[in-house]
Structure 1
């Protein structure tokens, strides 16, 4: 894992590269490359995980001097790829960086299609006069870029701070702010900044430097969804066991100690069980919990799992003071406001784990491909309700006085006939009407971003709407919400976080299974839980899902005074953009019994983010 920075016609010094030092404190390197009429500069801060020797130093140049590479991530099938390369290559060491360099030399940038790993990279070919940047298929590793056609300049990096420092601009996009309020994140390529973009998951960008002006194009290398397989249930479970075992084994590849981020749920438990069995030694596990009696606390459940598996268990508990006190710092680290309250406990969890290990495995990423969220069941249920009954049922639920946010979102989605809009409504944070009331701007980007991946993945090949929704969530909200904050926060503590549940071979297999193998009206992750029965006792598998949440619903009601003092101040940058009476209404709804914790958390995130922007 590393922090990477590359530019074309934009000089940078050590102070700018130092902005990424937390991502790689073990080594640092830079390279200046003359390409035609341009100057390419590469920089990298290294977190040494595989091949701790100087042989893994970056930027890495080919022996012939034609090619250069900077890379952040882990390539779990790099030994397999190395075996496919010519046998006469003289390797300096055993790092995956060197494998990637030679593989791209042999196969071009299209070679990333065969990479099973998490990565963001920049690849320079001096003779072809090109710079190419690429991001892994699920966007586990972030990659941002600034491209000025007018000034013939390019900069790309693992985080936005260096790009903002180099570009000298920070104009905020109101349309992207509306999308953030709708989705709880900004889907690639948008950020809140007008001049900074994100590379989409499963895409690369090709920059041609042969002419006077740099020419750019974006290329998707993602495969469409695989054909559906017909298997017996026993065969489906058996193959699943093989795939998930291989995934965990691949991701234990490391020259440093590997630990486990352990919740009370089945996902991290099965990853931990397999990791212990494969490694053949006790592993360290880390859990965050909450002071006081809160249903979201997972420490007791995680402790039972740790004892069962023989894990060395480390625990950190936090309270509301810790939560609100660290929120500003978490917004700074993540660089983009989000509505996901688990950002804060992840901060303390990563801080704890980094005191003991350099790499952790997590159970994150199982819910989207395996159908673990309620909205997928709601979509299945909708398909069983006659069309003429959907609108009346929605009306009845809205007038019933129900205050459960999940039920109300599901009711709104039930009556929506346009599929793209329905998928958005099923997971939206603020409604279109609320967004207009809050900032006076419509969200016009969300549908475009969903449609893009819908077509790219050939989602129409799936019969069930739930499967289409799961495929989209796996490439959209995972990349730019859950995986984004996990990467930023863990790397803030120089900690590498790996996600075995998003192993490419495993997900391809999962997405080839019929929906009935993954989801029904009683629950989701069916094949996953059936396999878990071979490894874990029923009491762990059948635990009620807590979903790594925080007790913010309770905390926000108790700390309403502090929240109002921030959000309702007319003198703040936030108060100059948001309609404060509309904000007051959201806070009042939470106090009256509606659960608006996500909405309040997102507004607080935006408040702190705006306070950090230069005048």
Structure 2
């Protein structure tokens, strides 16, 4: 796992790599090339995980000198790919060297065979082509900017690009963020800085004056319903085999690997098979809370660790810690998000980095296996008449329902159109409120959803719940949960792997009938049924808590939040109507749960201080 940086016709000082040094403290390198009057720079910071020798140094150039790569990530099937290559004299055993020659011999379309987490830049000097690529689920971020014709800058993070290119806030993208809770690729809050979409290649043509920048997918559809004749019992057995194989595959490392352990099933399953493949107890890291709160998972996680033979290591966070670290987290993540678990992730990553360089996480199971409440909403929508659905939301408010998730779900039921209903279920701020807050309504979110809806061929899927899960795997997950996980763990020079997003495993899961995964009042069905075969009942029967923080209660404390968000001397106040901000704070005090809305505004407050 590393950090990459590069440009075309934009000068980069070697010292600029220091801005991403935490992503790769073990080694660094810069290479410069001239081609057809263009200057190309490739820079790299290395976190040595596989092949710790100088043979893994980057930027890496092929023996013939034609191909150059800077790579961030891990390719778990690289040895399998390496065996398919001929005529190559390998200098080491790194996956970077494998894919350099694999792409050289098979072309960029061969990236679809990579099972891993990755983003990279690949330069074909003979064809005058440069490519930027991001893995199918967007586990590793990659940004780029084309500020003027003939100029390009790219990086694993935004900060180096900001040093190279002056950019400003896009108010339309701000309204999109307020609607969705994250900025969907290719958007960021900036006008010109973009993210490579998950599963896409950006092609740069150095033979043209404007560089001819284009983006194209290497993922063509979700694999829905192909195993419709497979019996459920056989499906469970096959699922278990593939899950175990995925976990064992992702133990590939020349350094120690640990576990991010919650009290739930997902991380317990990962821990179960990881520990079974290790001769010594693995270290398991858990974060909890100083104040008593139902979201605290320390006791459950310690019970899991004891049952599985893990070495449990814990840390605790309180409201004072939250206020102390939120500004740093915003600076690290670089993109505002409404996800409160950013804060506990910071302390969890900091804890783990004291002992290991690699951790396995249980992230990714909810999107592929139907773990979220909104998937239940899609099932209800299939049989509730439209006229009743349109009455559900107003009736809930009339009877005093204050649960934000429930209200969003009921609001979404009224829409027959998939994309409008999906967007309603994702919503943080309603569009009329967005206009009151920042003066502009969101008109981009639907277009971004529609792009992946069409790309995944969702219209061919039998059930809307399949369609929503396919989109969530490539959008919400990539640019929200996985984004902050990458940024925060790499801030501590810690690589986080996600076995639940193993490409072979996800292809299989998506090929199963949706009712093997989710039914009314049942979620992650095949996952839970397999878990019953290998985990103790005490773990299986626990109430799901999710990776959360006690922000609902914390945000009811009068004083600090009001002083921050209602200050008239801040950059935040130049974008937001503070009277409308105050109304959100008041609603939370009166019992409406506005923790996501408040957290997003708080994050934006600090983001404008650093980036705006």
Structure-1 residue corresponding to 2:220: 223
Residue 343 of structure 1, CA deviation:
0.2
8 Å Cα contact 1:149/1:214 also seen in 2? no
8 Å Cα contact 2:14/2:30 also seen in 1? no
Structure 1, 349-358 or 382-391: larger mean CA deviation = 382-391
Does residue 100 (structure 1) correspond to residue 90 (structure 2)? The answer is no
Consecutive aligned runs of 4 or more in structure 1 exceeding 6 Å deviation? none
8 Å Cα contact 2:386/2:416 also seen in 1? no
Does residue 286 (structure 1) correspond to residue 293 (structure 2)? The answer is no
TM-score by length of 2: 0.99
Structure-2 residue corresponding to 1:154: 152
For residues 10 and 406 of structure 1, the distance between their equivalents in structure 2, rounded to whole angstroms, comes to 46
Which of 582, 585, 588 is equivalent to 1:587? 585
Residue 510 of structure 1, CA deviation:
0.5
TM-score by length of 1: 0.98
For residues 395 and 174 of structure 1, the distance between their equivalents in structure 2, rounded to whole angstroms, comes to 31
Structure-1 residue corresponding to 2:324: 325
For residues 194 and 40 of structure 1, the distance between their equivalents in structure 2, rounded to whole angstroms, comes to 24
8 Å Cα contact 1:37/1:212 also seen in 2? no
Does residue 202 (structure 1) correspond to residue 171 (structure 2)? The answer is no
User: SS of 1:84's equivalent?
Assistant: coil
Structure-1 residue corresponding to 2:57: 57
Structure-1 residue corresponding to 2:240: 241
For residues 54 and 257 of structure 2, the distance between their equivalents in structure 1, rounded to whole angstroms, comes to 22
8 Å Cα contact 2:2/2:45 also seen in 1? yes
For residues 394 and 314 of structure 1, the distance between their equivalents in structure 2, rounded to whole angstroms, comes to 44
8 Å Cα contact 1:398/1:411 also seen in 2? no
Does residue 297 (structure 1) correspond to residue 296 (structure 2)? The answer is yes
For residues 613 and 302 of structure 1, the distance between their equivalents in structure 2, rounded to whole angstroms, comes to 37
User: SS of 2:213's equivalent?
Assistant: strand
CA shift in 2, pair 1:175/1:212, >3 Å: closer
CA RMSD for the aligned pairs? 1.0
Does residue 563 (structure 1) correspond to residue 561 (structure 2)? The answer is yes
How many residues are paired up? 610
For residues 260 and 186 of structure 1, the distance between their equivalents in structure 2, rounded to whole angstroms, comes to 29
Residue 227 of structure 1, CA deviation:
4.5
For residues 246 and 562 of structure 1, the distance between their equivalents in structure 2, rounded to whole angstroms, comes to 48
Listed as ranges, the matches of 1:360-375 within 5 Å are: 360-375=359-374
For residues 240 and 436 of structure 1, the distance between their equivalents in structure 2, rounded to whole angstroms, comes to 46
For residues 346 and 365 of structure 2, the distance between their equivalents in structure 1, rounded to whole angstroms, comes to 21
For residues 577 and 149 of structure 1, the distance between their equivalents in structure 2, rounded to whole angstroms, comes to 27
User: SS of 1:255's equivalent?
Assistant: coil
Gaps of 5+ in 2: none
8 Å Cα contact 1:184/1:429 also seen in 2? yes
Gaps of 5+ in 1: none
User: SS of 1:41's equivalent?
Assistant: strand
For residues 304 and 470 of structure 2, the distance between their equivalents in structure 1, rounded to whole angstroms, comes to 30
Structure-1 residue corresponding to 2:595: 597
Structure-2 residue corresponding to 1:410: 409
1:226-285 deviations in whole A, cap 9, x for unaligned?
241121111010010011011101100000000000001100000000101122331000
8 Å Cα contact 2:392/2:411 also seen in 1? no
Residue 386 of structure 1, CA deviation:
2.0
Residue 35 of structure 1, CA deviation:
1.4
For residues 403 and 57 of structure 2, the distance between their equivalents in structure 1, rounded to whole angstroms, comes to 53
1:380-410 deviations in whole A, cap 9, x for unaligned?
0121212232112333122111111111101
8 Å Cα contact 2:437/2:581 also seen in 1? yes
